[in-house]
Amino acid sequence: MASTLGAVFLSPRQAPALIFLSQTRQMDQSSLLSFLPPVPPRSSRFPLGSWRWKLSAAPKDVFPVIKKWKLGRVACFMREEEEASSINGSFEFMDSKQIEDLGKAKLDQSSAKNKDWTSKIRKVADRMFTLHGDPWMVPWTAETIVQVMLLWIASFWLVGSWIIPFLAHAAGFSKESFTHRGQALYSLLTDIAEGLAGIAILHRCLARFQPLPSGWFRFSLKGNWHFDVGLGCLLFPLVNLLSQINISLVPVLPAPPVGISSVEQSIVARDPVAMALYAVVVSVCAPIWEEIVFRGFLLPSLTRYMPLWWAIIVSAFVFALAHFNVQRLLPLVFLGVVMGVVFAKSRNLLASMLLHSLWNGFVFLDLMK
């Protein structure tokens, strides 16, 4: 066809040159095709993976441009361009399964980092909230637990409301005629009598189980319980907030008009001796008696029938009910849980007593404002 075109449009002198150029072009095309890899079938030309096609086997003298020319990778997903393969004339193929495996590997790496941070946070939380130590060995049954608690509450009410007033009246004293210091001393003696009566009942009920197993009613200055007490003190504002919420939820019941208490009278009078005596009552005596009964006896005894956390909650609820004040139920339950956790972590009654004393002292100082 090229020779025919040359005969029609060119002079006879230019026709042989055109025929030579046409033959040379056909030879170059056949040489080029000999260096190309076989074309894949139509069904596999565009797989779902990514593929690369390059030419590197052509000699410089035959087709110098082919060695520098390569077809960039065509992919369904945009990725960074990788380094060219060192295999000459190769056809690289990455199917969808390999891409999925690569994505899973990167996902596993990110999840491993997240698990590492989660494990670190969990370790810190375990150190703060996990209760370690061997369980208490409880040799008595629920009958003894109920007996001790009922007798303790009865003795508390009987000594404070009947025995001490009767003895004072028999001795010719009247509480109403006492000065501020006399009333403070009367409150201190009453509280000491109530506490000693409760401890006597506890000792009498547990006498048949002597000697007690190890870990019961333990007092110690050693250990890291000071840190737990400090954390408990940080929760005092939350206890105060719960007290305000409880007061707003429970309406104030109508009661007969009464005068201000002896404690409030001493605070108003600013009598330092009376205030010091009341401080001993609320910050020393009450924490000792209550912690021995509720955290020292009741909480470990309940672990015979329920897990430790449930024993802490139940003992805290009983501790709140023993104060006979519905408007202070929520803060007292929460405070009982905090003191129970401190005691369970340290296995030391001195820790819960100190925390209880600090809370009562916080309330007493708030009353003095």
Listed by start position, the domains of the chain span 133-251+261-368
Of 302 and 256, the one with more pLDDT: 302
Selected residue with higher pLDDT from 135 and 332:
332
Amino acid occupying residue 14:
Q
| pLDDT score for 366 | 83
pLDDT of residue 46: 46
Question: Cβ distance 233 to 335 under 8 Å?
Answer: no
The pair phi, psi for residue 137, each rounded to 5°, is -90, 115
- pLDDT at 261 exceeding the cut of 80: no
Higher local confidence (pLDDT), 100 or 47: 100
The yes-or-no verdict on residue 235 having pLDDT over 70 is: yes
* Top-confidence residue, 207 or 3: 207
Please determine, for residue 333, whether its predicted confidence score (pLDDT) is greater than 90.
Answer: yes
Task: For Cα atoms 294, 300, 302, give the angle at the middle one, nearest 5 degrees.
Answer: 90
Mean pLDDT throughout 297-305? 94
**pTM for this model (two decimals):** 0.64
Q: What's the CA gap between 160 and 194, in Å, rounded?
A: 7
Residue 354 pLDDT exceeds 90: yes
Give the residue-averaged pLDDT of 224-247.
90
In sequence order, what are the beta bridge partners of 50? 94
Q: Write down the residue that tokens 């909480």 correspond to.
A: 299
Output the pLDDT for position 88. 46
Quick one: what percent of the chain has pLDDT higher than 70? 59
pLDDT-derived band of residue 171, with 50, 70 and 90 as boundaries?
A: confident
- CA-to-CA distance for 278 and 181, rounded, in angstroms? 9
φ/ψ region of 223 (left if φ > 0, alpha if ψ in -120 to 50, else beta) reads left
b/e map of 254-271 (b: 16 or more CB within 10 Å)? eeeeeeeebbebbbeeeb
- Say yes or no to pLDDT of 68 above 80: no
pLDDT of amino acid 258: 47
- pLDDT average, residue stretch 136-151: 93
- Measured in degrees and rounded to the nearest 5, phi and psi for residue 13 equal -75, -30
Split at pLDDT 50, 70, 90, the class of 344 is very high
Query: Are 317 and 331 a contacting pair, CB within 8 Å?
Result: no
pLDDT band at 100 (very low <50, low <70, confident <90, very high): low
What's the confidence (pLDDT) of residue 99? Answer: 64
Task: Report whether pLDDT(247) > 90.
Answer: no
Of 344 and 71, which is predicted with more confidence? Answer: 344
Residue 222 has pLDDT above 90, yes or no: no
Residue 230 or 64, more confident: 230
Q: Which residue has the higher pLDDT, 32 or 110?
A: 110
Residue 117 pLDDT > 90? no
Cα–Cα dist 290/309, whole Å: 20
Would you say residue 50 has pLDDT above 50?
no
Whole-number pLDDT of residue 262: 65
